[in-house]
Amino acid sequence: MKNPIKAIIFDFGGVLIDWNPHNLYRNYFPKDEPQAIDDFLDEIGFYTWNAEQDRGRSFAEGVAVLSVKFPHRAALIEAYAAHWIDSIAGEISGTVEILQKLKGKAYPLYGLSNWSAETFPLVSDEFSFLSEFDDIVLSGDVKLVKPELAIFKLLLGKIKYLASECLFIDDSLPNVEAAISLGFHAHHFESPEALRMALKEYQIL
């Protein structure tokens, strides 16, 4: 079967960059109690709250709003904003190696990431592989977040490829499902090894 893929689109956090609130909050909870961190994140609705920073809300406003709702957790909420960089543990080296191989094969590469415009500058210079992308659509810049279809359509409007000519890679299943609904090829990222196998099936690697 002829390879239909002409361009490849990567999510960042959880695919190329090891972002996880556990990386930060393990400094505030006993090291042998990761469940305590999850319980805290669930209690405050962390991921829904954080998505609004990804959409463009300032961290100052986000902290103020959530601290009013959970005053007994205010110090921990503020810690995320004050020490956000600690949520980044580094690059996911196996995926970065794949990215560089794709670049070597001259595939057009695009980034589509839910990421605060306030914090992205803290990593944009640290990870040199980010310069490999032909273009990046950042949720905090465009005030849209995945899995909203509008952000995928915005990306398509910026590149010269049809959805059916693109492979989208993301660690969030809802984001993958949204991409598929628009006609993208998509891979639900779980490990670099599984991604490498998927790319071989597409005859990309």
Tens digits of residue pLDDT in 50-80: 999 999 999 999 999 999 999 999 999 999 9
Q: What is the pLDDT of residue 13?
A: 97
Between CA 180 and CA 24 the distance in angstroms is: 33
Q: What is the pLDDT of residue 199?
A: 97
pLDDT tens-digit readout, 3-18: 789 999 999 999 999 9
CA distance between the termini of the chain: 14
Residue 8 tokens read as: 């490849």
For the chain, domains (ranges, CATH) are 7-16+92-201 (3.40.50.1000), 20-87 (no CATH)
